[in-house]
Structure 1
Amino acid sequence: MRTLRRGAGLVAVMVTALLLALLPTTAAQAAGTGEQNWCAVQGIASPEAHRAIDAACAEWRARTVYTWGGGHGPAPGQSYGTWDLSSPSHFEETALDPQTRGFDCSGFARWAWSRAAGYDILGDGTAYAMYVNGGRKYQQVHGAGGGKPAVSDMQPGDLVYTAVGGQVKDITHMMIYLGDGYVVEAYQSQLPIRVIDINSRISDNRLVGVTRMPQGGPFTEPTGYDGTLQVTWGTDVAVREHPNRSAGQVTRLSGPDIVYAKCQQRGERVTAEGYTNDAWTYLSNRGGWISNIFLRGPAWLPEVPTCSGADYDTQIGPGGGGNATQGGAYGTWGTDVALRSQPSTVNGTTVARLAGPTSVAVSCQMHAQSVTSEGYTNDAWSYLPQYGAWITNIYMKGDAWLAGVPACDGRGTATPVGAHAYSTWGTGVTIRSTPSTGAGVVTRLSGPTGVAVSCQKHAESVTAEGYTNDTWSYLPEYQGWVSNIYMKGDAWLNGVRNCVIPGMS
């Protein structure tokens, strides 16, 4: 029987190869060298490689950009970058990365293979660390005689590592191999993920090596459950009948696991692994509660709803329910202020009302329904985790977009503390991805809008509305640039720093 199966597999491979040879040349196959306008598995690949490449290509289609340090949060996925301070030129290149969500090269590979394996198989490390860890969770691929592999030795889903000079100690970059001589990579700050022929990336002796992930049976996400897919961490983690440590155990998680988070609420305050938190989440595919300490992500998960009605568990244990956590301490103003289930006065039901000015914690904010009240108009809403509800930022003390509070929906970043509150004028004002009229459109402002400005710089000169100006301002809420022609104020905004720091350009 083993011989029969092996023979059948060989026949299947030969038939597949013959069919591929007879098919007309596809756009992918005909594209040749240079950057490509497609992203997909090329050739025969394992289910795991298909899942990794599917995840990578989804980011390519979304035009997700490179940001230095992106993808290295507590869990795999896009995150805001940081500055590369290794040289003045690198600093200038990454000046906007702290305000940009995306991936660097290793964060990109980490995300793709976490989707394939079902857990964080590569971990939060650099490209160098991921290569030298080969042989523990995954293997290094070698060529003839144990040397460096040739492109013909590579399989779809393999991770390809490069360095100037081709030495392990100098590894600075990694890519995901698609097959047929192509890779997909996050490669340069502020530029989108791309597909390119591998030879253009490993020429001049830049290839260091290749690693291959384990490829056994297919990983299957749990199905048939309510909630948001989350990932746990830690070992021997208890799942309990109620959100307190005295409750009976439903099960124990031996290691990182894929779970469905139905809702979260305040329970018994727990201290473990160096963290303290009173938030607990109900796992519908485990039938019990887990402390949020053991869920990857922030202390209070903004994408997971607050338990209410029949889902709320009153057995919260001692000292529970009192910790606001997450986000900074802010204050509201006004009287009888409505808190809503959604960031909308139309679709959101009233969860509670604040009788007067109240101190609150804010976990995140987002642009949603525009509201006019008390002489102000604003489309920003803040999420208050202790109420499990939204409040229009009109009633939050501070700027229209709160400094230091991240965006719930990934649109833009937390406005840096010290960013300046300004306003635009005009209608149909275009916000662009770079300070150029030829750059991609991020959004358009339908009318005068309150905005935060983190920095400004001289770039393309623009003539519009009877003015000429080469200054552009960066709006972190929108992750884009606007010509200062449309900013109320001077041509060069007073008090706003230069995006290019003198002496570092």
Structure 2
Amino acid sequence: MRTLRRGAGLVAMMVTALLLALLPTTAAQAAATGEQNWCGVQGIASPEARRAVEAACAEWRARTVYTWGGGHGPAPGQSYGSVDWSSLEGIRETRLDPQTRGFDCSGFARWAWYKGVGHDILGGSTAEDMFRAAGRTYKQVNGVGGGKPAVSDMEPGDLVFTGVGGTVDSITHVMLYLGDGYVVEAHQSQLPIRVIDIAQRISNNRLVGVTRMPQGSPFTEPTGYDGTLQVTWGTDVAVRQHPNRSAALVTRLSGPDIVYAKCQQRGERISAEGYTNDAWTYLSNRGGWISNIFLRGPAWLPEVPTCSGSDYDAQIGSGGGGNATQGGTHSTWGTGVAIRSQPSSVDGTTVARLAGPTSVAVSCQMHAQTVTSEGYTNDAWSYLPQYGGWITNIYMQGDAWLAGVPACDGRGTATPVGAHAYSTWGTGVTIRSSPSVGAGVVTRLSGPTGVAVSCQKHAETVTAEGYTNDAWSYLPEYQGWVSNIYMQGDAWLIGVPNCVNPRVV
């Protein structure tokens, strides 16, 4: 009996210790580490900076976690991370990130300022690239004599960049300044976003610099310029008289620049910088067309209207992608169906509602937010150019991935009739030009990805991840093959036909 009571006491102490360890950090504990139990704007801030901070603090309140590569999808927002293969330490630290949705530091900054100004001003770049791109669109903050700024030079909403040694080449991190000496940051895999004393993050000469986003009158749209503010990337980028590469040259953009997008349409399909796209945007402040390849953001910009009427330019050159009704006519089903400004039921605002089944034109489709409704789950969304918005494919009559409608990112060709929606798993999964591990690499999938599968076949036997399989699936969006080892499902995918088309070898 005495032994039992001693054991019970020991268990009680262990349970108490465990509960204490799981309790939220108290103000006293937070103060000891510099981490705070609040998040918000400290001091005077512009409307844009206030919205950016509010968006960041909303993620702090939701206890959104850091995941390596998170927030770097085609559009701003949480995404699954990936493994950092650069070192054993990186692999150990990020091994769970492919199954975790969240942000890394630059993806977090991208999301906050997307909410701040209403468009993807920072794009999916790294922290170092963000700092180097500071110029006309957003600017560096300098201290006395043009040197590094002091904390007193910073304003709420500023982005603070750090790196060991304090040089641009050493930048590894970016944080959002709240004011009064505090920052909010996504800082380490699997740990939630936190607010911390900036002094702890810039000590030992780690501060590299600070940038300030567009705020107020210095960045307002000039009189006479139509369209939404966008940002280009790349150097020596051509702006042409018509949406095709053979059209007369209007001007060249020497580097990243601020532009005003009046409308976009399908033009000549081109390949550049590793991307293929047939979307072109008319720049009112340049008087010409630019391929969307060189605009930061998704391949089809959700906030830019489709060119119609006199704005539509029919001179699309050879290999053109067609007009606003490209993809043909389809039909919706259901009542009160929402058309949204983005392919998301959370972030997209309602552009229109369809009272009942409606005939619509679909220009392209993409994998985005997963939606469950009417007993179905799907991550495919279709863009409806007449409405200038997106609809989940749940409400489109047809397969989960619409046959004959191209992907919005311009990869590959239209999905053949009979294609099936599946998902991959794993990180760094290779898509190859033929069903063999020795074939050329088409692309790599950084994490689990929704894909369309048109057919499968028995080919080279592969052993990986503890499995052996000779089945390969053809992914028409990527015009390539993936071993069925990396497809979620059986070794031979149920419902997917054998490849019999002689062109698919």
TM-score by length of 2: 0.50
